[in-house]
Amino acid sequence: MGMLRDQDITEIRARLQGMVNPVKLVHFTQELNVEFGREARELIKELASLSDKLSVEVHDLLLDKETVAEYQIERAPATVVRNSKDYGIRFYGFPAGYEFSVLLDAILAVSQGDSGLQPETREKLAKIAQPLHLEVLVTPT
């Protein structure tokens, strides 16, 4: 039995029908001392099985040092959402609850190659002249 309920699987498959281009989920974990590490890996693998345009690649945080450095991963579990380009989208922790729907939104946006931002917002963001590091933190409730 998987982590997702049958009703959820049906809804997720329907949402993933909106994918245009393939997306890869690059997942980082480690076997010991990672809270929800196993659960996060199982969920990511199960999610990837729901669309032929979605694939998963799993790496060990401690053993795959080159890949960890390439993606600048700081801790596990972590999931990178990318296509042929890495947009810098990282999910840390177990993407459950509200975070799961945000993960689905990120997958669709990367697949479609469009953030959905308004032209005015794109213009303002284009004026940012230096690298910007943005983190969104959530607390389970």
Kindly report, residue by residue over 14-48, the tens digit of the pLDDT: 999 999 999 999 999 987 888 889 999 999 999 99
pLDDT surpassing 90 at residue 10: yes
Let me know if 39 is exposed, middle or buried by CB neighbors in 10 A (0-12, 13-18, 19+): middle
pLDDT value at position 22?
A: 98
Q: Where are the alpha helices (DSSP H) in the chain?
A: 6-16, 37-48, 65-71, 98-112, 119-126
pLDDT value at position 51?
A: 97
Q: Where are the alpha helices (DSSP H) in 49-97?
A: 65-71
Task: Please check whether residue 76 is in contact with residue 37, taking contact to mean a CB–CB distance below 8 angstroms.
Answer: yes
Look up residue 23 and give its two tokens: 């997306």
Average pLDDT rounded to a whole number, residues 108-128 = 93
Report the C-alpha gap between 46 and 95 in whole angstroms: 13
Domain segments of the chain as ranges = 6-126
Is residue 132 very low, low, confident or very high in pLDDT (cuts 50, 70, 90)?
confident
SS3 content of the chain, % helix, strand, coil (to 5): 40, 20, 45
- Strand pairing partners for 82? 24, 86
Least confident range from 22-26, 45-49, 68-72, 111-115: namely 111-115
Average pLDDT rounded to a whole number, residues 87-99 = 91
pLDDT surpassing 70 at residue 1: no
pLDDT surpassing 60 at residue 113: yes
Q: Which CATH architecture has domain 6-126?
A: 3-Layer(aba) Sandwich (3.40)
Looking at the chain, the whole-number percentage of residues with pLDDT higher than 70 is: 96
Type of residue at 96: A
